[in-house]
Structure 1
């Protein structure tokens, strides 16, 4: 079945609230800052915002419904997207269809999380019953050990080396030096990556994201609305989403993108060769390498060779995670699932400042989320392009 496109719906006003390592503020505060920044830029009064989509891990015991009262909103359309690293693209999909159907005019999509001392450990304690049952009896919890299993299996199966993953981390750090809000502001060399202390073999320090506090946001609206408000905007060429893909695989060496990537390129009317920059979800470099393959930039098992053959920096032949990605900007909870999309909107609307890729008109964004022991169960991707194309 041919999927319906997203004609007439656009993305605008990308906003990032600068991250900090720890914060005593609540998730509500971070989300409110992002929302206020967007509405001020778009010159929209809170009472005129009729759609609201929220992603957050630390909002409990409140919900997005409670946020409407906290923030003085009265939306006709409300959504919550609890899919971690896939949240940005999935929120985009839901909001775009609601606007296209005429159920809502302007949707604010916002992700934000707090990070107090010890809050990450507390979050992991109740993150997933399946993960708890599978890992706690063996004396570990959290994503590092789970992704170590995945990375080790990938290396054994396809011959990738730690140097290959290190090249991804080093390139992203180089990009982050040009992104003003990145938490990691010290250059990283491949030698430093290789010599870093081991966290969960084969994962070492610079394979791991740093939990932090922050927020990301964007608006979804009709194209005529963006033009009336004189807002730079990006069009949506296509999107895909898949959950619990390849459940029979012994361990995850591919994601749900594989099932739908041909559909995505069919919607967009082109293949991977037309993409000017790629933003992958990057809680660990092995996940980005997996996405290079599953999104069609190289064949399965050729990710390491692809990395060796390309320059992944902003000025390189394959610009990837141009803000520095989570590995160098930080992982602000659910906002990590928005980081690449917000940066992609900035890129194709020529608002990226120091990280701007020359001639960037078409971007792909992919999301990956909700790790349950040996795999992430949510995947999504979108292609967006600037309105000047």
Structure 2
């Protein structure tokens, strides 16, 4: 069945990229972190938070609150509201839904906010209640959590396509180099390939530096029309195109491709560009194998060519293929659901020319992706957005 041609996002922009600096552990609630993000959005936009007439929330740790409860908590009165409990793809989905709401006139300024706390026991409790699949089929056997699942995916990918740990290590090492230029990154020490290779195993072939570090923090941005941004005197990034797909390629015994591959043609066609026109890429990087998979599925190389693509490029800020210029989750940290917004916020800063020490020299067009909701053998959700600076 041929998918319906979707309307472009012409006239929709993103503004006010916000990061609430991360902490490894926090005694504060998720609501506290989300509230700080909302305050930063309002202050940076120069308006009251009460002027946000749309609100999209992503978080794992607000229970028993949902987005509706937080409207009273934060003094919001939106006419458009969404709660997106989809982990690492929540940022893309929030952006897509907010953009359509703005186009339809259902909202004028949508605050897309994601954040989580990280108490000492938060991650264990989140893991135990992540999904019914995990509770019934995985967790009782001691294999609960992302490490075991991504070990399965990584080993399958390595066997199928000849990827080596050194290839994954190259991505981790270069992301750490990028993170050392990002004052918000939690990882402050350089990482060498020798250190990566010698790190203790977690779930073979996953070792210590393949794993994201849970932390507390928040990311946020505003979605509005271009004329609204200009009336407020705000710089912005244009939304050229987006895609979203769930439960793709169910026929694969173990995941080696994601939903991006279904819709990549539409992503570039709507944006009016080709993969080679993209100046920087922010992949969702909870584990490096997923970034390598995305290089293929996002059209930068063919399926199975990811290992050679990694060997043939440099991924630093000033490299041949600038990638996860903030350091990505692997070196910045994973603030729960905010991990799905991290790449979007960094991509915004890049094409807006305000990334500071992580700025890529020629950043006209950027791509950010999302990935999430892992069951034992695959992640169920994927998405991507292409952004451009004002002058395009």
TM-score, normalised by the number of residues in structure 1 = 0.99
1:120 aligns with 2:123: yes
Deviation of 1:376 (Å): 0.4
Tell me which moved more, 246-255 or 132-141.
Answer: 132-141
Match of 1:214 in 2: 217
1:183 aligns with 2:186: yes
Matches within 5 A, 1:1-389: 1-389=4-392
Distance, in Å, in 2 between the alignment partners of 1:345 and 1:323 is 12
Describe the SS at the equivalent of 2:252: coil
The question of whether the paired residues in 1 share the 8 Å contact of 2:111 and 2:222 is answered with yes
Distance, in Å, in 2 between the alignment partners of 1:322 and 1:355 is 6
Deviation of 1:132 (Å): 2.5
Deviation of 1:140 (Å): 2.1
Deviation of 1:315 (Å): 0.4
TM-score, normalised by the number of residues in structure 2 = 0.98
Deviation of 1:201 (Å): 0.4
Q: Deviations over 1:237-295 (max 9, x none)?
A: 10000000111210000000010000111101111000000000000000000000000
Q: Number of matched residues? A: 389
Describe the SS at the equivalent of 2:5: coil
Describe the SS at the equivalent of 1:232: coil
Deviation of 1:47 (Å): 1.9
Structure 1 residue runs of 5 or longer lacking an equivalent are none
Structure 2 residue runs of 5 or longer lacking an equivalent are none
Q: Deviations over 1:1-59 (max 9, x none)?
A: 32210111100000000000000101100000011001111111122211100000001
Deviation of 1:118 (Å): 1.5
Q: Deviation above 4 Å: which 4+ runs of structure 1?
A: none
Distance, in Å, in 1 between the alignment partners of 2:49 and 2:142 is 48
Describe the SS at the equivalent of 1:32: helix
Distance, in Å, in 1 between the alignment partners of 2:130 and 2:139 is 12
Describe the SS at the equivalent of 1:164: helix
Distance, in Å, in 1 between the alignment partners of 2:51 and 2:241 is 28
Describe the SS at the equivalent of 2:159: helix
The question of whether the paired residues in 1 share the 8 Å contact of 2:128 and 2:139 is answered with no
Q: Deviations over 1:298-331 (max 9, x none)?
A: 0011101000000000000100000000000000
Distance, in Å, in 2 between the alignment partners of 1:139 and 1:18 is 33
Deviation of 1:133 (Å): 2.2
Describe the SS at the equivalent of 1:88: helix
The question of whether the paired residues in 1 share the 8 Å contact of 2:91 and 2:344 is answered with yes
Distance, in Å, in 2 between the alignment partners of 1:318 and 1:242 is 25
